[in-house]
Structure formats: C-alpha cells, structure tokens
Chain A
C-alpha cells in the first residue's frame, strides 16, 4: 500500500496558475473575486468618508456669489 503517491510530488507550477503567469486567458473565478473584493474595499473606504467640508463650502460660496450677481 502506498499512501504517499497523492500530493507529494513536486508541483511544477508551484502555486502560480498558468493564466496568471503568461498574462493571457481568463483568471480563475476565485482570483477574480478576490481582486474585486479588495478593490471595492479600498474604494469604499474613501466613499465612506462622505463629502469633505471643503466641497460643501465651495458650493455654498458659489451659490452666494450667484445670488449677488446682478440678474441679466
């Protein structure tokens, strides 16, 4: 009985999928999902900061100036 035949041989690709290495073809679903999750987490971290005061203030200032402008 040989229990060691499974999973003990050297992995020629050592964990790097072929599609990732040569940069062509589709990435496997899990890798794609993971990249997507990381990108969205990074992005949402900024989105959650909301609207910084400088932008709301700028908008108010623009509107104030418009109100002061003589109507044509």
Chain B
C-alpha cells in the first residue's frame, strides 16, 4: 500500500506543530523528536483509519498525546521501581533542555499537572478550539475549559504576572514581546 502523496505532505507539514506540542509536554527536544517520529510512524501505519475530510492535525495530536501518556506512565513505573521517593519529582517536572528558549515559562509549565498543561497548550498555543481540544484529550468540553482556566491561574502565579506592564521575568520572552508589540 502506498501513501497518498497529498496525505503524506499533510503529515510532513504538521511536524513543526507536533514538535512544538511535544516539546511543550516533555521539556526535552530529543524526547520530543522521538515522540514525533513514533507519531509519524503510527500515523502512516494506520493511515487507513484516518477519515478523509476530518481534521488531520487533530488526529495526529491525538496519537502523539496518547503516546506521551503511555511513555509517561511507563517511565513513572520504571523510576518507582528504582527509587519510589524520587519518582514523582522526576516525572512531574520535565528536565530542562539547555537548547530551549523561554526557560521561565517552560519551568512554570512543567510544574502544572499534565492534564492542565496539555489543555493549556492545545487551546492557548496550538490554536485548537475547546471542542477540538476536548476530542484530542477524550474528555468533555467543560473539563477542558476548567483545566485551561486552572492552568492559567497557576501560570500567572508562577510567573508573577499581575500587571499589564509587567512583561514577565524572562529576557527572551521580553525581547520577543517587545518585537511583536512594536
């Protein structure tokens, strides 16, 4: 079975966004790229189960999210076997990757519960609607809304964003924001 070239191109075109999502979830470029590669392979192997005309990007994000959660559970089990005491801190705070920008924001994101983090990224950064995010996370629209809301509160606290003129503590963020607002 050969892959429809249009579909193949669409999968390839979705990769930058899949990477951004995976890096936001894991906080690590190598882990994220492995995750994207696995997503790509799964998607192409199961391309027949994709319904043409539906949202390919949402379908790919669903695969990636499920893979990440599987891996997360596996890692948690493995770490617990070795040293249960450190398991939670290791898996709930993704390691920081020196190649990544926006350190403060990524650290703050890493402190969010996984459910809230993925909901916030999907809606706040990937540009999915609440409905699409709910489908990707296999939960109710109301659940996504409350997760996004809670995530925003926690981020606001973490980043001490209290005033409009406060552009956040990260110089990289400030530089980008300044460029965008000018």
Please count the residue pairs between chain A and chain B whose beta carbons lie under 8 angstroms apart in the complex: 118
Q: Which residue of B lies closest to A47 (CB)?
A: B16
Chain B 130-171: CB-based contact to A (< 8 A → 1; otherwise 0) = 000000000000000000011011111101011110011000
Report yes or no: B162 in contact with A34, Cβ–Cβ below 8 A. Answer: no
Check if A38 is an interface residue, CB within 8 A of chain B.
yes
Report yes or no: B33 in contact with A54, Cβ–Cβ below 8 A. Answer: yes
Q: Which residue of A lies closest to B9 (CB)?
A: A59
Report yes or no: B125 in contact with A19, Cβ–Cβ below 8 A. Answer: no
Report yes or no: A41 in contact with B173, Cβ–Cβ below 8 A. Answer: yes
Chain A contact-residue range equals 35 or more
Min CB distance A37 to B, Å, is: 6
Contacts of B164 in A (CB 8 A): 30-31, 34
Known: A36-B124, A47-B16, A58-B40. A42 touches B105 (CB 8 A): yes
Roughly how many angstroms separate A27 CA and B157 CA in the complex, as a whole number?
11
Check if B24 is an interface residue, CB within 8 A of chain A.
yes
Check if B79 is an interface residue, CB within 8 A of chain A.
no
Check if B90 is an interface residue, CB within 8 A of chain A.
no
Report yes or no: B153 in contact with A19, Cβ–Cβ below 8 A. Answer: yes
Check if B3 is an interface residue, CB within 8 A of chain A.
yes
Of the A-B pairs whose beta carbons lie under 8 Å apart in the complex, a sample of 5, sorted by A's number, is A31-B152, A37-B177, A37-B180, A38-B173, A45-B101
Interface residues of A (CB under 8 A from B): 15-17, 19-21, 23-24, 26-27, 30-32, 34-52, 54-56, 58-59, 62-63, 66-67
